[in-house]
């Protein structure tokens, strides 16, 4: 039954490829901000407090009696930083990249909406890396519940349940890649639903970008770089990625003051994720900003609890549901909708 819900996850329109997402000057300034303001944490460390929260955002359930650890999750060496959130760009030298008229027009046309506002601006940075985990969905936001006031695991659980579409915001992204390597480094997505054929965006990935709705489309990154270098030893949830002080163009992964891996410029993959919220017309805009039909975390938790009771799920209502690992574990299992099984073959050294 729930797996049927997965087929509802299709973007409002097919992904649209564009080239030269940023000018050479803009790309240079973006990269300089990353060099100057690092090192940067793992994506998992940036977005999740416990391993249970990770499971709640992906596909899968946790066997009864198993105590999760970060080692069980598997620490993929992909790192993240935020360049802007809401109406605020954190670095004045890249304001033209965030308040981007070209991107705003692209997502308005993609959605056929009158209005758009920049909402988020982040990057992923990595060296050689295994395939980017199981195909996943990005964090949906709802009127009244956003990344600023709600844990990501709850937003994604709400999205997967399909119980909150009344409040779901319209979102669009322009996602750009910069990668000089020869092995992998592309992007797989399922715009026709998880049972449809995957759509691949393959290297070269220098300034190539996609206009898309990633909250409603399963996707993940391809494996990147030489396979022998994809699993640096000694990673910890506290590991970071930053500029190599001994190489003006190189990078390094570091844990507890020890360098795990040097990453040359050639093997560094840089993803820039620009996102906007869309409004069909002025009435749609006012519905959001008048806050007359917002949802709260308490409302959302009660809706999920009521739904689970109707399903006959046996559980105790927690006193602090947002921070109760057992409750997060329960939701991860109940609202596991699965995902694509037809994942393209990994990029191996032979592909070079």
Q: Print the SS3 string covering 105-140.
A: HHHHHHHCCCEEEEEEEEEEEECCECCCCCCECCCC
Mean pLDDT of 138-166: 93
pLDDT for the residue numbered 75: 82
What pTM value is reported for the model?
Answer: 0.90
pLDDT at 304 over 60: yes
Output the six-digit token pair for 310: 């109707």
CATH code at position 326: 2.60.120.620
Rounded distance between C-alpha atoms, residue 159 and residue 141, angstroms: 9
CB atoms inside a 10 Å sphere around CB 197: 12
For position 2, what pLDDT does the model report?
45
In the predicted structure, residue 53 carries a pLDDT above the cut 80: no
What mean pLDDT do residues 243-257 have?
96
Which tokens go with 100? 């981007």
CB 191, CB 276: distance < 8 Å: no
Total structural domains within the chain: 1
Counting Cβ atoms within 10 Å, is residue 99 exposed (0-12), middle (13-18) or buried (19+)?
middle
Supply the pLDDT for residue 41.
96
Q: Is residue 352 part of a domain?
A: no
| The predicted structure's pLDDT at residue 162 | 95
Residue pair 75/42 in contact by the 8 Å Cβ criterion: yes
Does residue 144 lie in a domain region? yes
- Predicted confidence at residue 352, as pLDDT, reads 38
Does 218 fall in a domain? Answer: yes
Position 259 pLDDT exceeds 50 = yes
**Rounded Cα–Cα distance for residues 68 and 75 (Å):** 13
- With a cut of 90, say whether residue 55 has pLDDT above it: no
- Least Cα distance to 98 among 84, 108, 115 occurs for 84
Which domain range does residue 123 map to? 2-347
Domain presence at residue 68: yes
Confidence of residue 3 (pLDDT cuts 50, 70, 90): confident
pLDDT tops 70 at residue 63 = no
Q: Which residues of 287-324 are buried (b: 16+ CB within 10 A; e: fewer)?
A: bbeeeeeebebeebbeebbeebeeeeeeeeebeebeeb
Mean pLDDT value across residues 293-309:
97
Mean pLDDT of the chain: 91
Q: Cα separation of 129 and 138, whole Å?
A: 20
Per-residue pLDDT, 309 = 96
């Amino acid at each position: 039954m729930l797996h049927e819900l997965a087929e509802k996850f299709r973007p409002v329109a097919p992904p649209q490829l564009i080239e030269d997402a940023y000018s050479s000057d803009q790309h240079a300034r973006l990269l300089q901000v990353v060099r100057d303001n690092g090192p940067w944490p793992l994506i998992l460390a940036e977005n999740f407090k416990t391993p249970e929260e990770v499971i709640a955002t992906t596909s899968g359930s946790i066997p009864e009696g198993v105590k999760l650890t970060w080692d069980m999750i598997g620490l993929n060496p992909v790192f993240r930083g935020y360049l802007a959130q809401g109406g605020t760009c954190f670095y004045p030298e890249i304001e033209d990249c965030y308040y981007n008229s070209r991107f705003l027009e692209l997502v308005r046309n993609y959605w056929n909406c009158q209005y758009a506002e920049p909402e988020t601006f982040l990057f992923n940075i990595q060296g050689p890396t295994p395939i980017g985990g199981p195909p996943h969905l990005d964090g949906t936001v709802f009127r009244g519940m956003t990344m600023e006031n709600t844990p990501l695991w709850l937003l994604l659980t709400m999205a997967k349940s399909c119980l909150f579409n009344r409040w779901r915001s319209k979102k669009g992204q322009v996602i750009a890649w910069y990668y000089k390597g020869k092995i992998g480094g592309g992007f797989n997505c399922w715009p026709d639903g998880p049972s449809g054929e995957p759509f691949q965006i393959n290297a070269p990935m220098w300034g190539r970008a996609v206009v898309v709705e990633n909250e409603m489309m399963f996707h993940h990154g391809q494996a990147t770089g030489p396979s022998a270098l994809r699993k640096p030893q000694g990673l910890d949830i506290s590991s970071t990625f930053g500029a190599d002080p001994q190489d003006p163009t190189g990078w390094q992964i570091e844990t507890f003051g020890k360098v795990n891996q040097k990453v040359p410029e050639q093997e560094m993959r840089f993803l820039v994720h620009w996102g906007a919220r869309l409004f069909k017309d002025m009435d749609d805009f006012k519905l959001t900003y008048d806050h007359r039909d917002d949802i709260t975390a308490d409302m959302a938790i009660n809706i999920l609890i009521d739904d689970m009771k109707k399903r006959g799920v046996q559980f105790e209502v927690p006193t602090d549901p947002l921070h109760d690992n057992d409750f997060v574990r329960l939701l991860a299992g109940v609202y596991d909708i699965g995902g694509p099984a037809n994942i393209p073959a990994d990029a191996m050294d032979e592909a070079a």
